[in-house]
Amino acid sequence: MRGIFERKRPAPAADRVRCAQLLPSVSRTFALTIRVLPGSLRDAVTIAYLLCRIADVFEDSNRIDPRTRKGKLLSMADAFAAIHDRSDDAEQDRPEWDRQTRERLLACLDGCASWTDLDDASRALLASGESVVRAFHSLPPITRGIIAHWVEAMARGMAGFVEKEIESQPADGLLFKLHTWEEMRSYAYCVAGTVGYLLTELFTHDLRLGDTQKTARLRDLAGSFGLGLQLTNILQDLSEDRVRGWSYIPEELAARHGTTLARLQQESDRAAALRVIADLIEEASAHLDSAMEFTLLIPRHAPRIRLFCLWPIFFARRTLVKLWGEPAVLNGAEKVRISRAEVRSLMRQTISGCLSDRRLLQLYENERGKLRERMAVRPV
């Protein structure tokens, strides 16, 4: 019996409401797209995203000692590994084990909300971590297992990049940089490719697709789905990252065009820098093509899942058009982004066409054509 002085634990419904309230502050775009998901997926994807965002705060808060952040990420990964290992005990009630795993996750968050230099959204997320963890534990066991597996992979991968940060030697105004294309792709997989796989498993489970050729192809394309969006984000954040001494563009790519990361934002190297950006746009574009193929494999009887995938793909495609040859990417005061009117227009077009593969391909080809027109004038 509950003691009369014991604080009553909030109902899972209240925790899920709190998760929904947190979402717009940490990602306006994701909050916009997640509303279209069917109820069977909306809570699971919201909670999964917030857990990924917590890991991202640990990885990204570069003014906090990297050893502290690496420790948090590894502790988080270990806690989720234990959850994933037990996820096969599907409907068995194991309250003692659930309590222990909740405590391990909450221990990862202890003291983090008081970190200095966090933005308001990140601080609110960490301060509400208990609600996010409780909401996670209220999900069905199979769903918990899927989320735990991929959040573990993300957190462990991020810890590896924080280790690189510890080992790096600051130079040329950069506290951290990547050296090769493969390092950049590995980073993008770690922070976004894992999300693609997480969503794929949630979708295929919810749709009961089973082990079919379609499911296998969805899994083949899942990583590209995340990579196309992440490379677009890297380009949008280039100037902002440089201010804090970070670069996710590899030195190898800068050298290919006769410049360096240190000189990338100098007027004398403007043409070379724009060629660097052009190469990244082309790679992001190829991944978005794969993301579109992924989306068309989602059955037409699941239009809400299709739209959830379509909107970020079309937003990213239109963003790449704006990024091509745009000097503001290098040192602009604000991110290069599409307008709200463009967002609304793309949403209307995809809503009207989401049940027709032919119509969606036409719309997508129109967006690809806009980029091809810009690419006809390649930076020299």
Answer whether residue 357 shows pLDDT above 50: yes
pTM assigned to the model: 0.90
In the three-class reduction of DSSP (H, G, I as helix; E, B as strand; rest coil), residue 326 is classed as coil
> How far is residue 45's CA from residue 305's CA, in Å, rounded to a whole number?
11
Which regions of the chain does DSSP assign to beta strands (E)? 176-177, 246-247
Break the chain into its structural domains and give their ranges.
11-167, 169-380
pLDDT digits (tens, 9 = 90+) for 6-56: 344 445 789 999 999 999 998 888 888 999 999 889 999 999 999 999 999
pLDDT digits (tens, 9 = 90+) for 333-352: 778 899 999 999 999 999 99
* Amino acid, res. 324: W
pLDDT digits (tens, 9 = 90+) for 252-269: 999 999 999 888 888 899
Q: What is the DSSP string of 78-126?
A: HHHHHHHHTTTSTT---HHHHHHHHHHHHHHHTTGGG-TT--HHHHHHH
- Inter-axis angle of helices 340-353 and 357-375, nearest 10: 140
Contact 219, 65 (CB under 8 A): no
Answer whether residue 303 shows pLDDT above 90: yes
pLDDT digits (tens, 9 = 90+) for 175-203: 788 899 999 999 999 999 999 999 999 99
Class of domain 169-380: mainly alpha
> How far is residue 351's CA from residue 359's CA, in Å, rounded to a whole number?
11
